[in-house]
Structure 1
Amino acid sequence: MTSDTYFCDTYSQLLAGQLSGIKRLDLSGGLKEFPREIFSLADSLEVLNLSGNQLTELPADLHRLHRLKVIFCSDNLFSELPIALGRCPSLDTLGFKANQIQSVEAAALPERLRWLILTDNALEALPTEIGNRPALQKLMLAGNRLQKLPADLAKCSNLELVRIAANRLTTFPACLLDLPKLAWLAFSGNPFSAPVDANQAPASIIPELAWESLQLGKVLGEGASGVIHEGRVRQHGNGGQRVAIKIFKGDITSDGRPSDEMDACLAAGKHAHLIGALAKISHHPLGLHGLVMPLLNETYQALAQPPSLDSCTRDIYDSGLAISAESAAKMIKAASAALTHLHKQGLSHGDLYAHNLLVDPTGNALLSDFGAASRTSALEPGALAAVLRFENRALRILIEEITSRCANVGELSELLA
């Protein structure tokens, strides 16, 4: 079934009153107005996805959807965050990526706000009142025009993940320095994070491969910044080298700019527990960025899945996962060594999660994905200390998650001693 067919079928069912009792509704098909029929679902609807339309406003009585927890309106035409959102009693997650939002009024922020996505807009400021949303855990602001963050953001003591890459921040935001739970921060592409010597040549120059020399295969995985395919580098006389090919989704991702990710991948250099890059891709027919990377053995799999709407900032593990003490020790040591290496290279990872740790059945582990990585060499000492503290908190969380799934914690402790 195509997306257009799905939209037509779902929209027809909505108009006919055939969706009574549903908890999630997805409508993406060029809508220019909010369908009033959605209010007939008020007693059950919890997740409303209206992304990929042409909406410019939401109805003032949106609060009638009294059970609504999550609303996605990405890829629409909003120029401001709708005030109606702030009156929704159960709403805690707002997704308004890739609109034209220039301003956010305090009244548009629900009292229960937990997760705010305003990536890739034209936002120049946030309201001071965002500090009065104590449940806020996840704040995604990459790709805007922010020159500062409100000081009251320091009051958001539950904030754990922040994305402020690709903005216009000239100094590291002081409001982030002492947040007690912050663990995942991306800040590349701001004036304050630019290398002191922007023209400094890296130790080794990554080669380029023309798109025409690559053969794309099946999809291996997809993250916030791009899609990874199996592929080959075409060579005369044989089938070519098998590689992994990452194609970035656009100029701005949830974490920042693809160009900054490629820069971090280059600056990281080689390490036994990092997945680096073999080459940059040039001459893509659509002008997209891309990287050619080593193709891992199929036995390597992500240790967990990314966070869900409910878990917000915590990865989702297989409920039956049991890790041997030996494997757990290898994973922990690998993650720790990779992170230490990055810090020595003047980088933060920004996304140290189990879903970015690829492991094989014996516990061999590789840290992947530089989408949220940032250069730290230009940071003032206080900011650098804070960033390293955030990174170490992410590492502690990962270690705790691995340890909680270890079959023999006592043996693990001995192996890590």
Structure 2
Amino acid sequence: MQGKDTLARLRNGELAGIKRLDLSCGLTEFPCEIFALADSLEILNLSGNRLSSLPDDLWRLHQMQIIFCSDNLFTQLPVVLGNCAALTMIGFKANQIVDVPAESIPKSLRWLVLTDNQIGELPASIGACAGLQKLMLAGNQLTSLPAEMAACQQLELIRLAANQLHGLPEWLLKLPKLSWLALGGNPLNKGFESDRAVGNEGVQIAWSDLEVGELLGEGASGTIYRAQHTQPSGINNVALKLFKGEVTSDGLPQTEMAVCRAAGSHANLIGVHGQLIEHPEQMQGLVVPLIEPQFTILAQPPSLTSCTRDVYAQTLVLEFATALSIARSIASAALHLHQQGILHGDLYAHNILHDVAGHAYLGDFGAASFYAQTAPQAELEKIEVRAFGVLLAELLERIKWCGDEAKDQLQDLAAQCCQVHVLQRPRFVEVLHRLDALL
């Protein structure tokens, strides 16, 4: 529910008992009628308005677990959020936030989204969020992270791309559950990114040479369309990825484009034909191969409930050979990337296309980044190994079993990939070797 009609129904008392309210209608003040929903409202979405503050008694919404206030005019994360005892998720993407007061962070927090703001510093109080799993900070002005965050032992996904970080704290690389890390567009790897970009400008494809067709899919960084590319040699069927803006929840489009070009060719990477130029609205884009229709997405992205875990179709059942082939394909792609000094950053089932035979492609480089092949090379690779371990465990849950010995070996590999001591995890070359032994 959203818009002026929803606001009218709210004011008429017609929405009593609802659990989710979406209001996007140019609001400049918080509608006090929302408090009438205090005994039922769990999700409040006020994104896309012109709000700059929330009422000091917001805590009266005692059932509220999730609040979205993205695309508004906040310059400070409201202090009152810290008094909302049931809050587990806060989303204030694309505001003008400079200040994050210590009091604004509730200890119950599981998921915090502050992407695309102007934040230069996080409060030490975030370290008290023992259950924090997902932290989205891309597109800010952070120069460091508070040392107290070392206590966030449940943190699995963190987006730090497009900030002002000159280095990574040692504790970050030792977090026992960290699996998905985005770092591109920071001073810590800026020179390396520039060096890798030289000579990798790639083919440029003019908008006028493309005929854009149906929408194929949408991700955090952009939308993908079917297209036809007219060349002197003929017409090719391709896919076109158009980026949504200058900063996405994962990072910068220019980083993604540079990484895609530098990744090179591999049987289990989708690859890239060229970079889009001359778009009438100056949108950035990539032209990539069109994957055959028999390939489908392995899973859907995490939900508000699952937080860091993909959502699989309940009907998905895999043959052992199919699951093993998918796992081997993705391990091989990841090994190739790390040999090129590339961290994928988003190694997830929702970024994997597969067919019934187990052929698979790893795509979506929105969270990817270059890293110098020196320290902390091993830590960065083994953080991504944990992401693979999570994927392998998810595949195991969906296999139609044919033998206990193979099952035990795969379960042991998944456990080793996810063990809490980062440097004791195997590297991708060993992972691939162990998977090959089961073929």
| Cα distance in structure 2, aligned partners of 1:335 and 1:309 | 26
Shift of 1:202: 5.2
Residue identity matched to 1:226: G
| Amino acid of the structure 2 residue aligned with 1:145 | Q
- Which stretch has the larger CA shift, 326-335 or 194-203? 194-203
Percent identity for Structure 1 against Structure 2: 50
1:278 has 2:265 as partner = no
Q: Distance in 1 between matches of 2:193 and 2:70?
A: 37
C-alpha separation in 2, matches of 1:198 and 1:127: 32
For the residue of structure 2 that corresponds to 1:177, the secondary structure is helix
For the Cα contact (< 8 Å) 1:195–1:375, is it kept in 2?
no
In structure 2, the residue matched to 1:150 is 146
Q: Which residue of 2 aligns with 1:92?
A: 88
Would the aligned equivalents of 2:196 and 2:262 in 1 still touch at CA under 8 Å? Answer: no
- Residues 1:304 and 2:299 are matched in the alignment: yes
Q: Deviations over 1:200-256 (max 9, x none)?
A: 565654100111111111110000000000111134796x21110000000000000
1:3-42 matches, within 5 Å, as 7-42=3-38
The answer to whether the 8 Å contact 1:329/1:416 transfers is no
Per the alignment, residue 52 of structure 2 pairs with 56
Matched, 1:384 2:384: no
> Under a length normalisation based on structure 2, what TM-score does the superposition of the two structures give?
0.90
User: Would the alpha carbon gap of residues 200 and 348 (structure 1) be closer, same or farther in structure 2, given more than 3 Å must change?
Assistant: closer
Structure 1 residue 385 displacement after superposition: 2.0
Structure 2 match to 1:138: 134
CA distance in 2, matches of 1:205, 1:121: 30
Letter in 2 for 1:91: L
* Alignment partner, residue 394 of structure 2: 401
> Hey, what does 1:192 align to over in structure 2?
188
Q: Distance in 2 between matches of 1:138 and 1:416?
A: 35
Match of 1:206 in 2: 202
Aligned CA distance change for structure 1 residues 201 and 376 (closer, same or farther; 3 Å): closer
2:315 to 316, 320, 324: 320
Deviates more, 1:224-233 or 1:6-15: 6-15
Please, what TM-score do these two structures have when normalized by structure 1?
Answer: 0.95
- Asked if 1:330 corresponds to 2:325, the answer is yes
2: CA distance, partners of 1:203 / 1:361: 38
Q: Is the 8 A contact 1:152 1:175 kept in 2?
A: no
8 Å Cα contact 1:202/1:267 also seen in 2? no
Aligned-partner Cα distance in 2 for 1:201–1:302: 30
2:238/2:288 contact within 8 Å kept: yes
Q: Contact 2:200/2:258 (CA < 8 Å) preserved in 1?
A: no
Residue in structure 1 matched with residue 427 of structure 2 by the alignment: none
Task: Deviation per CA, 1:135-184: give whole Å up to 9, x if none.
Answer: 10000000000000001111100000000000000112333021000000
| Cα pair distance change 1:196/1:373, threshold 3 Å | closer
1:163-202 equivalences in 2 (<5 Å): 163-196=159-192, 198-199=194-195
Preserved contact between residue 256 and residue 365 of structure 2 (Cα < 8 Å)? yes
Q: Which ranges in structure 2 are unaligned for 5 or more consecutive residues?
A: 410-435
Q: Find the aligned partners of 2:175 and 2:197 in 1 and give their Cα distance.
A: 35
Structure 1's 299 and 29: CA in aligned 2 closer, same or farther, altered over 3 A? same
Partner of 2:344: 349
What amino acid maps onto 1:310 in structure 2? Answer: T
Assess if the C-alpha contact under 8 Å between 1:42 and 1:67 holds in 2: yes
Q: Partner residue of 1:113?
A: 109
Could you tell me how far 1:389 is from its partner in structure 2? 1.4
Which residue type is aligned with residue 120 of structure 2? E
Equivalent residue in structure 1 for 2:357, among 356, 362, 366:
362
The alpha-carbon distance between structure 1 residues 224 and 128, as it changes in their structure 2 partners (threshold 3 A), is: same
CA change 1:237–1:367 in 2 (3 A) is: closer
- 1:225 equivalent among 218, 221, 224: 221
CA contact (8 A) 1:102 1:124 kept: yes
Q: Does the residue aligned with 2:301 lie in a helix, a strand or coil?
A: coil
Counterpart in the other structure of 1:255: 250
Shift of 1:195: 4.0
Determine if the alignment matches structure 1 residue 80 to structure 2 residue 76: yes
Tell me whether 1:410 sits opposite 2:403 in the alignment: yes
d(CA) in 2 for partners of 1:252, 1:31 = 25
- Contact kept, 8 Å, 1:278 with 1:293, in 2: the verdict is yes
Using a 3 Å threshold, how does the CA distance of structure 1 residues 396 and 251 change in structure 2: closer, same or farther?
A: same
Superposition deviation, residue 108 in structure 1? 0.5
- Report if the CA contact (8 A) 2:116-2:140 is conserved: yes
Whole-angstrom CA distance in 2 between matches of 1:202 and 1:341: 20
Shift in alpha-carbon separation, 1:152–1:230, aligned structure 2, 3 A: same
1:297-343 per-residue CA deviation (whole Å, 9 max, x = no partner) reads: 11111100000000000000011211001100110000100000000
Quote the Cα distance in structure 1 between the aligned partners of 2:102 and 2:335.
Answer: 40
Distance 1:361 1:188 in 2: 34
Q: Which amino acid aligns with 1:126?
A: L
1:242-280 per-position Cα deviation (integer Å, ceiling 9, x unaligned): 110000000000000000000110110010000111010
Task: Report the AA paired with residue 408 of structure 1.
Answer: W
In structure 2, the residue corresponding to 1:40 is in which secondary structure? helix
Number of aligned residue pairs: give it.
410
Aligned CA distance change for structure 1 residues 236 and 12 (closer, same or farther; 3 Å): farther
1:85 alignment partner AA: L
Distance 1:17 1:297 in 2: 51
Residue ranges of structure 1 left out of the alignment (5+ in a row): none
Q: Give how far 1:196 is off.
A: 3.8
